[in-house]
Amino acid sequence: MYYIVETNKSFDQASADLESAVKRHGFGVLHVHDLGTTLRGKGIAFDEQCKVFEVCNPGQAAKVMSTDMRLNMALPCRISVYTEKGKTMIGLIKPAQMLSALSQDAVLAQVAKEVEEQTLQMVDEAK
C-alpha cells in the first residue's frame, strides 16, 4: 500500500526536486505541511524532518468528485519527504489501493491507476 524510496539527496534537495517533478507532471502543489517545524514550534522534541506535499491534478480530481462526491475526503494526494534515522525518504500511499477500499467504481479505479502511475513517477524523479 505504501511506495517509499530512499534517496541520497538532502531533505531540502529532495523536497525541491519533488516540487519540480509534481509541476512537470501537470499537478499543482496546493500546500506543504512542514510537520517537523510545526512540532518543534509547539515545544515538542522532534529530531526528524517531514514535509507533506498536497498535490492535485484538477482534471482528475473533478472526475473523482463527479463520480462520487464523498471521495473529496480522500483528496488531494499526499507525497511526503521525510528523514528517518539519518536517511532521506520520499513516499506516498498508493492511490489505487486506497481508492479500492473506498469505492469499487470502474471509472474511479482507472482514474486512481492513472494518478498512481504519475505520482510514482514523480517520486522516482525526485529520488
Q: Over the stretch 5-19, which tens digit does the pLDDT of each residue have?
A: 999 999 999 999 999
Residue among 81, 68, 53 at smallest CA distance from 112 = 68
d(CA 36, CA 44): 9
What single letter denotes the amino acid at residue 57? N
Cβ–Cβ under 8 Å, residues 35 and 63: no
Q: Per-residue pLDDT tens for 113-127?
A: 999 999 999 999 999
Q: State CA 40 to chain mean position distance.
A: 23
Give all domains of the chain, ordered by start, each with its CATH number. Answer: 2-126 (3.30.310.70)
pLDDT of residue 22: 98
Cβ–Cβ under 8 Å, residues 10 and 115: no
pLDDT of residue 123: 98
pLDDT of residue 70: 95
Name the H helices within the chain: 11-24, 35-41, 58-67, 95-102, 106-126
Torsions phi, psi for 26 (to 5 deg): 80, 15
Q: Per-residue pLDDT tens for 4-56?
A: 999 999 999 999 999 999 999 999 999 999 999 999 999 999 999 999 999 99
Burial of 32 from C-beta contacts in 10 A (0-12 / 13-18 / 19+): middle
Taking residues 103-114, report their average pLDDT: 93
pLDDT of residue 64: 94
